[in-house]
């Protein structure tokens, strides 16, 4: 026998020739898979082991096999919307159909067959989600979630996951200094860098965001211009930066809070970041000059 899976061929096979993997431990969402098949078609082949006696056992794709069997022969009558058009079921095309599946045929020994079945089921459930990227993908589909595997309840859970407050002082996961040093630095007030300009004062006597010639802020994990069409206005933002950049960012946040005391935390951070971007942009312009008015505009002030 073969101690690894060896590809033999790809073939469309009648369902009655395929046997499910004995003792398959995964419980899948067959209705959701069937909905996807009817909307998208069979975009992934079943992985099928061919035994020496010609028997065919499904190693990966057992729930797709069940979904195709649940569709059954003939015309299911289902249509799906594609933009402004209504199209027939992607499985049967709304015509007489004999249940079959596209299969990738392999040969292997019993132990390898079990390992393939286990790892396919396990890896399908592993991993975590980037909720912001997921929301962007779903938002691009509009109101039609057919064939995505998501429903209104999933969207509600995603909205809840995204509805978080951005903290002004996130933990720095990449700070190499020990906790004791961090505590001492956190207790001391943030001081401007030696190269930073003095904090300017506006016409009303309030402090304005100061300029800097050194600090940078990296790791903003939120694509610019992305709009999530949900019932909230907050999206998560993760900032990773070193201690010097952390001090500069906190100084800008403090200045923004003093100038805009009515703003929520997320708005304060956004104003500080806009100001910092204006400063950094000016550094790449040999004729650029950062004025109080420019910083006020960057921060979103109306005055």
pLDDT (tens digit per residue) in 208-261: 443 333 333 333 343 444 444 444 445 555 565 666 666 777 777 788 778 788
Say how far apart CA 248 and CA 218 lie, in whole Å: 12
Say how far apart CA 262 and CA 41 lie, in whole Å: 53
- Given a cut of 60, is residue 123 above it in pLDDT? yes
Q: Are 120 and 44 in contact (CB under 8 A)?
A: no
CA dihedral defined by 267, 235, 239, 256, rounded to 10 degrees? 0
Enumerate the β-bridge partners of residue 17.
none
* Tally of residues, the chain: 303
| Mean pLDDT for all residues in the chain | 76
- Given a cut of 70, is residue 272 above it in pLDDT? yes
Nearest Cα to Cα of residue 134 among 120, 145, 125, 123: 145
DSSP SS3 for 284 = coil
Q: Which residue has the higher pLDDT, 117 or 193?
A: 117
- Given a cut of 60, is residue 268 above it in pLDDT? yes
pLDDT confidence of residue 291: 67
Q: Where in the chain is the domain with CATH 3.90.1530.10?
A: 6-127
- Given a cut of 60, is residue 102 above it in pLDDT? yes
Mean pLDDT on 8-22: 97
CATH-assigned architecture of domain 6-127: Alpha-Beta Complex (3.90)
pLDDT confidence of residue 3: 81
DSSP SS3 for 107 = strand
Say how far apart CA 41 and CA 3 lie, in whole Å: 33
DSSP SS3 for 30 = helix
- Given a cut of 90, is residue 44 above it in pLDDT? yes
């Amino acid at each position: 026998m073969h101690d690894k899976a060896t590809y033999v061929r790809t073939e469309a096979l009648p369902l009655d020739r395929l046997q499910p993997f004995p003792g398959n431990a995964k419980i899948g969402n067959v209705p959701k898979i069937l909905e996807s098949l009817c909307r998208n078609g069979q975009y992934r082949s079943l992985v099928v082991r061919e035994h020496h006696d010609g028997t065919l056992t499904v190693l990966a794709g057992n729930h797709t096999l069940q979904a195709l069997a649940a569709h059954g022969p003939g015309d299911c009558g289902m249509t799906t919307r594609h933009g402004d058009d209504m199209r027939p079921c992607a499985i049967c095309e709304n015509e007489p159909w004999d249940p079959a599946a596209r299969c990738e045929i392999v040969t292997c020994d019993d132990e390898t067959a079990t390992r393939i079945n286990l790892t396919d089921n396990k890896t399908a459930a592993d991993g975590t989600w980037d909720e912001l990227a997921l929301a962007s993908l779903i938002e691009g589909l509009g109101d039609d979630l057919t064939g995505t595997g998501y429903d209104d309840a999933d969207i509600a859970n995603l909205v809840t996951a995204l509805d978080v407050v951005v903290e002004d002082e996130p933990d720095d996961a990449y700070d190499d200094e020990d906790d004791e040093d961090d505590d001492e630095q956190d207790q001391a007030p943030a001081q401007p860098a030696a190269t930073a300009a003095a904090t300017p004062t506006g016409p009303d006597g309030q402090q304005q965001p100061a300029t800097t010639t050194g600090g940078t802020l990296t790791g903003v994990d939120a694509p610019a211009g992305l709009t999530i069409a949900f019932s909230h206005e907050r999206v998560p933002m993760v900032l990773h930066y070193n201690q010097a950049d952390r001090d500069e960012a906190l100084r800008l946040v403090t200045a923004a809070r003093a100038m805009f005391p009515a703003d929520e935390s997320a708005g304060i951070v956004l104003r500080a970041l806009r100001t910092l971007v204006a400063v950094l942009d000016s550094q790449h312009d040999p004729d650029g000059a950062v004025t109080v008015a420019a910083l006020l505009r960057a921060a979103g002030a109306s005055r």
